[in-house]
């Protein structure tokens, strides 16, 4: 599964038309970057060959290719004998059609204008949009136009057959088309992420440093529960995130391997920013692991979810948590509750996960669903399922084995594939590594987004209650 619009077969088809061995890199996506001429130009100008792809609410997918770089001219045609329009799908079904440029019209292949998105042809055959547009119910009504068959040979295909006769779109993406490194078999990632650079790492770090839970709810920190089988890497995930913000590899939470869970305490860890020492606005809550016979049980987890469990509570397998224990939080507030759950699963052992543990997890999920809690899976130890990742976790989203494990776990746990996030924790490393940081920061970013979803729902419910009491 690709996160972007195009599937592997679509890229393959485009490659047949473009020729050569190439790789595609997503530059611009209106649902992510905004449907704005300014943003299109800032992301796509000067990038060489590009494909622009649009997808409309009928799942018709079409667009245009140019081998020329987009520019922010005040309005200028570029000549391009290689340019073409194309269709990949019509009403959700594959429909591969290429519409080449008319030889006498190559001077009008594309039109660059800083106030507009991509424009193809001198009709213009396809003007996508101008200015800045917003979506309504997930649909952008593009303010462009289509005067097909002026510059490109449509071979009898009219506007209705090309784009259902309208310019409404769910998505529009622009991909850079690059020459391919012949030694690199992994051109297309199975899940798209921004390009992994030190800059991306800094941006992710800053985003997480600046993260604040929804202001109206007046809670200082979001709480994320890490839960999973013993030895899966729960404590290590906290250590990894903590290390990134400390600036060096630390192991504040005990981690290692033991017969029973090494972590015996419930700890709601802060992550502090270095050098200020200021805590970030989320906590990672580490628990004892799930075990077949003992370990923590469903009731223990419910107390944690609801915020009854005191910090540093020591789990006692022979004495389940109850309201009698000292420190039991009798009237927990929103700030005490868990706002997002991360199941931590060891990728190298999902194949042999026992039915009993799975049952336990499913039972916990029922309790979480009742509370409307978002759930993700942190799939750890991916370095153990692919040797290439031992050298560079930057390949994570390119390696098919990782994708297969993600798919399998998603089916096992009953979550969408996008909720399963592969990670590799710091374990033997002595120094921080940009790509390990990025991989884990991406995971952390997604978790915080999910926690926000929960808080937004909570706020909506509050508002509705207020409306109904005011009635």
Ligand X SMILES: Nc1nc2c(ncn2[C@@H]2O[C@H](COP(=O)(O)OP(=O)(O)OP(=O)(O)O)[C@@H](O)[C@H]2O)c(=O)[nH]1
Site residues (vs Mg ion, CB under 5 A):
234-235, 263
User: Which of ligand X, Mg ion, none lies near 186, with the C-beta cut-off 5 to 8 A by kind?
Assistant: none
Looking only at residues 325 through 354 of this chain, which bind ligand X when binding is defined by CB under 6 A? 344
Tell me: does residue 35 bind ligand X (CB under 6 A): no
Please say which residue, 127 or 243, places its beta carbon nearer to Mg ion. Answer: 243
Single out the segment in contact with ligand X by CB under 6 A; choices: 148-156, 177-185, 256-264, 330-338.
256-264
Both structure tokens of 188: 């297309």
469 binds, among Mg ion, ligand X, none (CB under 5 to 8 A by kind): none
Residues 6+ apart with CB under 8 A from 438: 196, 200, 201, 204, 394
Surface-to-core class of residue 98, CB atoms within 10 Å of its CB (0-12 exposed, 13-18 middle, 19+ buried):
middle
Tokens of 233: 């890497």
Of these partners, ligand X, Mg ion, none, which one is at the site of residue 126 (CB under 5 to 8 Å by kind)? none
Written as six digits, the tokens of 185 are 């078999």
Is 297 a binding residue for ligand X by CB under 6 A? The answer is: no
Give residues 63-82 in contact with ligand X (rule: CB under 6 A): none
256 binds, options ligand X, Mg ion, none, Cβ within 5 to 8 A by partner type: ligand X
Closest of 229, 237, 190 to residue 349, by C-alpha: 229
| Residue 243 binds to ligand X (criterion: CB under 6 A) | no
Q: Which of 232, 357, 420, 421 binds ligand X (CB under 6 A)?
A: 232
How far apart (Å, rounded) are the C-alpha atoms in residues 107 and 399?
Answer: 42
**Are the beta carbons of 86 and 99 closer than 8 angstroms?**
yes
- What does the chain come to in residues? 471
Under rule CB under 6 A, residue 386 binds ligand X: no
Among residues 162, 125, 148, 128, the alpha carbon closest in space to that of 39 is found at: 128
Q: Which of 257, 323, 326, 468 binds ligand X (CB under 6 A)?
A: 257
* Residue range at the interface with ligand X (CB under 6 A); choices 24-32, 165-173, 335-343, 423-431: 423-431
| C-beta of 119 vs 413, nearer to ligand X | 413
* 408 lies in the site for ligand X, by CB under 6 A: no
For every residue of 161-202, DSSP letters joined together read HHHTTS-EESEEEEEEEEEPPTT----S-SS------HHHHH
Minimum CB distance to ligand X smaller for 121 or for 295: 295
Q: Which of 108, 235, 268, 396 binds ligand X (CB under 6 A)?
A: 235
Give the Cβ contact number of residue 205 at 10 Å.
18
Cα 122 to Cα 150: distance, rounded to the nearest angstrom: 7
Least separation in angstroms between residue 260's CB and Mg ion is 11
Q: Cα(186)–Cα(398) distance, rounded to whole angstroms?
A: 6
Contact 98, 84 (CB under 8 A): yes
Among 184-192, 224-232, 323-331, 461-469, which window interacts with ligand X (CB under 6 A)? Answer: 224-232
Q: Is 108 exposed, middle or buried (0-12, 13-18, 19+ CB in 10 A)?
A: buried
- Among residues 213, 231, 307, 422, the one that binds ligand X under rule CB under 6 A: 231
Shorter beta-carbon distance to Mg ion: residue 23 or 234: 234
- Binding residues for ligand X, rule: CB under 6 A, are 230-236, 255-258, 261-263, 289, 344, 380-381, 383-384, 424-425, 427
């Amino acid at each position: 599964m690709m996160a972007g619009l195009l599937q592997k077969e679509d890229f393959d088809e485009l490659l047949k038309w473009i020729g050569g061995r190439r790789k595609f890199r997503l530059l611009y996506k209106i649902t992510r970057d905004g449907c704005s001429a300014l943003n299109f130009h800032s992301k796509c100008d000067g990038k060489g060959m590009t494909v622009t792809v649009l997808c409309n609410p009928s799942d018709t997918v079409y667009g245009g290719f140019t081998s020329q770089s987009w520019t922010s001219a005040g309005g200028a045609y570029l000549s391009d004998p290689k340019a073409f329009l194309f269709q990949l799908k019509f009403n959700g079904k594959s429909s591969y059609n290429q519409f080449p440029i008319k030889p006498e019209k190559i001077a009008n292949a594309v039109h660059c204008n800083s106030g507009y998105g991509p424009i193809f042809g001198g009709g213009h055959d396809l003007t996508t949009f101008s200015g800045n547009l917003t979506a309504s119910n997930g649909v952008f009504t593009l303010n462009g136009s289509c005067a097909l068959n002026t510059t490109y040979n449509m071979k009898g295909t009219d506007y209705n057959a090309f784009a259902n006769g309208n310019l409404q779109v769910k998505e529009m993406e622009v991909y850079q088309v690059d020459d391919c490194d012949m030694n690199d078999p992994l051109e297309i990632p199975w899940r798209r992420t921004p390009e992994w650079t030190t800059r991306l790492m800094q941006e992710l770090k800053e985003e997480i440093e600046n993260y604040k839970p929804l202001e109206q709810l007046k809670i200082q920190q979001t709480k994320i529960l890490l839960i999973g089988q013993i030895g899966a890497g729960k404590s290590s995930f906290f250590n990894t995130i903590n290390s990134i913000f400390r600036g060096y590899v630390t192991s504040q939470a005990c981690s290692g391997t033991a017969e029973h869970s090494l972590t015996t305490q419930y700890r709601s860890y802060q992550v502090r920013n270095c050098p200020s020492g200021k805590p970030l606005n989320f906590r990672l809550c580490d628990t004892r692991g799930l075990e077949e016979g003992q370990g923590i049980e469903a009731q223990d987890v419910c107390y944690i979810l609801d915020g009854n469990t005191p910090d540093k509570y020591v789990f006692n397998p022979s004495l389940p948590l109850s309201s009698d224990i000292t420190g039991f939080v009798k009237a927990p507030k929103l700030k005490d509750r868990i706002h997002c759950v991360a199941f931590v699963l060891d990728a190298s052992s999902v194949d042999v996960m026992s039915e009993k543990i799975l049952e336990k997890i499913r039972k916990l999920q029922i309790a979480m669903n009742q509370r409307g809690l978002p759930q993700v899976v942190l799939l750890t130890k991916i370095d153990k399922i692919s040797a290439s990742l031992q050298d560079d976790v930057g390949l994570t989203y390119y390696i098919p084995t990782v994708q297969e494990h993600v798919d399998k776990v998603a089916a096992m746990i009953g979550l969408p594939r996008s909720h399963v996030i592969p990670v590799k924790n710091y374990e033997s490393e002595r120094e921080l590594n940009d790509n390990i940081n990025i991989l884990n920061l991406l995971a952390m970013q997604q978790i915080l987004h999910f926690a926000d979803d929960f808080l937004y729902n909570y706020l909506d419910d509050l508002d509705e209650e207020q409306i109904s009491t005011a009635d």
